[in-house]
């Protein structure tokens, strides 16, 4: 049985279509997997920031025990915590504007906590309490976790962005709505070494 020329052409065309669909499906699935990895990394970042926010009420309660402690410093920390916990980002919307808002709120909380720790230096009786020392150690550990998770998030975003901007995935990324994600950036002025004077 001999196939006619028309059947051979049809079989070749169907085979090419099947190969192209399989190839496109593979690219699409990899973009989905990369996007999910970014979402997972973002959830880990939010988790450690939430841990820090959860430690603050205990820290404030411990510090309030010192009768003449500066109330405005505590108020600043409480307000910064409220602002930081109110700014959330959907992983599907990790663009420059939303990341800037999130970073600004978290930087405000970090700044308020730093001012609190500076003021605490004037209260040796507070620094000597076991509860305060444990909270301070937990906060320091959490800050380290934040740094690690931000770094992992940036690496995941970089892998995702590289993939969707590389050929042939770039041809499909726009068609399927995969957009570039925004990583964390260093604070303005971080590249300048601080001036130390004695």
CATH code for the domain in which residue 79 is found: 1.20.1440.20
d(CA 98, CA 121): 35
Q: State percent of the chain over pLDDT 90.
A: 64
CA angle, residues 166, 170, 172, in degrees to nearest 5: 145
Provide the domain count of the chain.
Answer: 1
Over residues 71-75, mean pLDDT: 85
Q: Where are the beta strands (DSSP E) in 94-186?
A: none
d(CA 174, CA 27): 13
Mean pLDDT of the chain: 88
Per-residue pLDDT at 103 = 93
- Asked if the structure places residue 111 within a domain, the reply is yes
- Asked if the structure places residue 25 within a domain, the reply is yes
pLDDT tens-digit readout, 159-193 = 999 999 999 999 999 899 999 999 998 765 544 54
161 in Cβ contact with 180 (< 8 Å):
yes
Instruction: Give the domain range for residue 90.
Output: 5-176
Phi, psi angles (nearest 5°) of residue 71:
-70, -35
> Helices 169-176 & 5-64, crossing angle to 10 degrees?
70
- Asked if the structure places residue 27 within a domain, the reply is yes
- Asked if the structure places residue 47 within a domain, the reply is yes
Per-residue pLDDT at 164 = 97
d(CA 118, CA 156): 35
- Asked if the structure places residue 125 within a domain, the reply is yes
The secondary structure of residue 188, as a DSSP letter, is T
């Amino acid at each position: 049985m001999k196939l006619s020329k028309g059947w051979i052409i049809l079989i070749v065309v169907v085979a090419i279509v099947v190969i192209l669909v399989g190839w496109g499906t593979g690219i699409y699935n990899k973009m989905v997997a990369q996007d999910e990895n970014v979402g997972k990394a973002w959830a880990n970042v939010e988790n450690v920031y939430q841990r820090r926010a959860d430690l603050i009420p205990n820290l404030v309660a411990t510090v309030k025990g010192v009768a003449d402690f500066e109330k405005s410093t505590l108020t600043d920390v409480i307000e910064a915590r409220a602002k930081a916990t109110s700014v959330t980002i959907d992983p599907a919307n990790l663009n420059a504007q939303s990341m800037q808002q999130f970073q600004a709120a978290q930087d405000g909380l970090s700044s308020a906590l730093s001012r609190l720790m500076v003021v605490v230096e004037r209260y040796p009786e507070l620094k000597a309490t076991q509860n305060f020392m444990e909270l301070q150690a937990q906060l320091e550990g959490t800050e380290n976790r934040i740094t690690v998770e931000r770094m992992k998030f940036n690496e995941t975003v970089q892998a995702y962005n590289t993939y969707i901007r590389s050929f042939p995935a770039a041809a499909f990324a726009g068609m399927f709505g995969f957009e570039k994600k925004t990583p964390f950036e260093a604070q303005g002025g971080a590249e300048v070494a601080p001036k130390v004077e004695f």
